[in-house]
Amino acid sequence: MDLTSQPHRRHNPLLDEWVLVSPHRAKRPWQGQQEKPQPDTRPAYDPTCYLCPGNPRTSGAVNPQYEHQFVFDNDFPALLPNGETGSFEEGGLLRAEAETGHCRVLCFSPRHDLTLPEMEIPEIRRVVDTWTEEFRTLGGDPNINYVQIFENKGFMMGCSNPHPHGQIWSQRTVPDLPSKETRTQKGYFDRHGRTMLADYLAIEEKTKARFVVENDTWVALVPFWAVWPFETMVLPRRAVQDLTQLTEQERDGLADILSQLTIRYDNLFEISFPYSAGFHQRPTDGQAYPEWHLHMHFLPPLLRSATVKKFMVGYELLANAQRDITAEQAADRLRALPGVHYKVAAAANILH
Ligand code: H2U
Ligand code: ZN
């Protein structure tokens, strides 16, 4: 079967879902940007920003003069720690359960004008350490069985504030997607005695056709079954179940791979590239999860330029996901981009 020109379906073994791929429709989707991006005019400190150091938040709390990272309880949390317990049922079809948890906000940097690709790697490493400690503390709570660490970046993704930040929601139940990934990874581990993603990485390693960037401890690749045009997965070479099991070298490696990947994302259309990204890790209910292989998903909406996004509509909403450009084409495109941020490159040209 020809994966480069024939319409076909690809299977996602993590979610046990399919994506329809229509490569014959991809008429040169990478002509580069078509409109001039708006210049980025963010100041290093914004007196009106509720995440900048020293500023008041809506709740009346005042942020400390933090120098690296700052984590606080979300003032408008989707989950409450001491909520009601109990459930609701009617006729066997209407079911509801009380849910409890914590919502935290993590500022990656005191600088209002930076994002991950513009931060120094040692500073990203501190973010990795903060994620790890949040996972350890929240996951250690007996009432918390799953911790979701994520970042929503860009107004296109519904992010309310350009100040670099992410969120951490932790809760009593395991939400749908990590719960599906637990089921599929366990099925694979029970049959093969190895994690699904270790075996997947070994297949990808043979050709590296879908690799974007790699280092000694991590790989960022466009998964074979990617849905979003420039979707990637960030995988540790060693199968670990959660962030707390990473060695010092692997934490450094994660900071490096995040820098390398997000710089290429920004360079793709020479804009601050929007995405939703986050970790998938083992549930924190105290059971053993040898099948779990920690990873990150990057889910960016853009297709063709700074403003042309992929729409998940019609067939996608009613049948299943579909894409035109193949995962291999997306990986080729990302891999070929320079590893120096376009703003840094532009500044260096001015100096010459
Ligand atoms: P997003 O922009 O990624 O949605 O995150 C911002 C979060 O910050 C959002 O969940 C919270 C919002 O509830 N927030 C506060 O906790 N305090 C504030 O003063 C404003 C916004
Ligand atoms: Zn700010």
Ligand 2: distance of its center to the CA of 166 in Å? Answer: 13
Q: For residue 4, how many other CB atoms are within 10 A of its CB? A: 11
Task: Please report the pLDDT score of residue 348 as a whole number.
Answer: 87
Q: Give pLDDT, residue 122.
A: 98
Q: What sign does the CA torsion over 261, 265, 268, 270 have?
A: negative
Q: CB of 237 closer than 6 A to ligand 1?
A: no
* 49, 116, 160, best to mutate for ligand 1 pocket (most atoms within 8 Å of CB): 160
User: Catalytic: 165?
Assistant: yes
* CA–CA separation, 332 and 201 (whole Å): 17
Is the C-beta atom of 88 inside 6 A of ligand 1? no
Return the ligand number nearest the Cα of 77: 1
Distance from residue 76's CA to the centre of ligand 1 (Å): 7
Catalytic residue among 112, 163, 165, 293: 165
The reply to whether ligand 1 has any atom less than 6 angstroms from the CB of 75 is yes
Distance (angstroms) between ligand 1 centre and the Cα of 139 equals 22
Per-residue exposure over 253-269, b if at least 16 CB sit within 10 Å of its own CB, e if not: bbbbbbbbbbbbbbbbb
pLDDT of the residue at 28: 52
Q: What is the pLDDT of residue 157?
A: 86
Residue located via tokens 């840094």: 344
**Tens digit of pLDDT per residue, the chain (352 long)?**
899 999 999 999 999 999 999 998 876 555 555 566 667 789 999 999 999 999 999 999 999 999 999 999 999 999 999 877 899 999 999 999 999 999 999 999 999 999 999 999 999 999 999 999 999 999 999 999 999 999 999 988 888 899 999 999 999 999 999 999 999 999 999 999 999 999 999 999 999 999 999 999 999 999 999 999 999 999 999 999 999 999 999 999 999 999 999 999 999 999 999 999 999 999 999 999 999 999 999 999 999 888 889 988 999 999 999 999 999 999 999 999 999 999 999 988 877 6
Q: Tell me how far apart the alpha carbons of residues 211 and 197 are, in angstroms, rounded to a whole number.
A: 14
Q: In a 10 Å sphere around its CB, with 0-12 CB exposed, 13-18 middle and 19+ buried, how is residue 51 labelled? A: buried
List, in order of start, the domains of the chain with CATH numbers. Answer: 13-22+41-351 (3.30.428.10)
Eight-class DSSP state of 4 = T
pTM attached to this predicted model = 0.96
In the reported structure, the alpha carbon of residue 348 is separated from the centroid of ligand 2 by a whole-number distance in angstroms of 26
Report whether residue 128 contacts ligand 1, using a CB cutoff of 6 Å: no
**Quick check: CB of 57 below 6 Å from ligand 1?**
yes
